[in-house]
Amino acid sequence: MITLYDLLLQDDRRASPYCWRIKHVLKHKGLAWRDEPVGFTEKEKIAFAQSNTVPVLHDGQTVVKDSWAIARHLDAAYPDKKLFPDEAALAYAQFVAGWVDTAVQPALFPIIVGDLYGRVRKEDQPYFAETRGKRLGTTDFAGFQAKARDKGVPAFRAVLEPARRMLRERPFLGGTQPAYPDFALIGAFLWARVASPLELLEADDPVAAWRERMLDLHDGMGRKAKAA
Ligand SMILES: N[C@@H](CCC(=O)N[C@@H](CS)C(=O)NCC(=O)O)C(=O)O
């Protein structure tokens, strides 16, 4: 039995980009799992894994924290439909995941933070305000977001340029089939979709067409998730 500890927002919304990566990996491999929702202030639920963050995966006797470690564990434990068949695939996936972590998600955060705060569970809002307020230097998240959008939306689109160049020539970052790089990037878009009604992309952007393909995967798993 696999249990995935997943971040819980208001009205059962699930926004965590890192958890979305793992849900895509589980579906890709055809694995069933039990979902365990964790609010921002319910750290006791993941203390057994010595983790402060989700995703945490409990797979039989094995406990794994951190999305990259979880993806590697699942690929080793369930070798069907390999994500990382060789060192080149592993290296490419690690690079794209690192780019999403350090460039794509940081470019998204300022332009959705007000909407995200509005969807955090009421009981978790003081925690979010304290932790994210320190990062941004303000707890007026709506005001911060409004100011950030003018420059922030074009800046976010510019960050996507490497993916756009790839997707002009092939349907997925993985080539003809979706792979871990696609799961990492769609995680960021699902975070935004669940948290905010802001349209991030121009209609004719190849990244927008790719996003539609990704939302259709696995019987529309991403598309069916409660959006903002
Ligand atoms: N490097 C970690 C990052 C995980 C992470 O930051 N998760 C966020 C949710 S998206 C979290 O649990 N935050 C809890 C908090 O801020 O207290 C991974 O890849 O799993």
Q: Report the top-level CATH class of 87-224.
A: mainly alpha
* Token digits of residue 103: 């460039």
The Å distance, Cα 85 to ligand 1 centre, comes to 27
Q: Please report the atom of ligand 1 found closest to the CA of residue 66.
A: 20
CA 183 to chain centre: 8
For the chain, the domains span: 2-77, 87-224
β-pair partners for 70: none
Q: Please report the atom of ligand 1 found closest to the CA of residue 131.
A: 16
The Å distance, Cα 30 to ligand 1 centre, comes to 24
Query: Given this model, what pLDDT does residue 188 score?
Result: 99
Query: Given this model, what pLDDT does residue 5 score?
Result: 98
Query: Given this model, what pLDDT does residue 42 score?
Result: 98
User: What is the spatial distance between Cα 128 and Cα 204, in angstroms, rounded to a whole number?
Assistant: 35
Judged by DSSP in three states, 5 sits in strand
Query: Given this model, what pLDDT does residue 183 score?
Result: 99
Q: Report the top-level CATH class of 2-77.
A: alpha beta
Q: Is the minimum distance from the CB of 181 to ligand 1 under 6 angstroms?
A: no
Q: Please report the atom of ligand 1 found closest to the CA of residue 40.
A: 17
Residues in CB range of 138: below 8 A, 6 or more apart: 144
pLDDT tens across 186-222, in order? 999 999 999 999 999 999 999 999 999 999 999 999 9
Residue whose Cα lies nearest atom 17 of ligand 1: it is 40
Amino acid identity of residue 35, one-letter, is D
Q: Please report the atom of ligand 1 found closest to the CA of residue 16.
A: 10
Q: Is the minimum distance from the CB of 51 to ligand 1 under 6 angstroms?
A: no
Is it true that 2-77 and 87-224 share their CATH fold?
no
| DSSP single-letter state for residue 52 | S
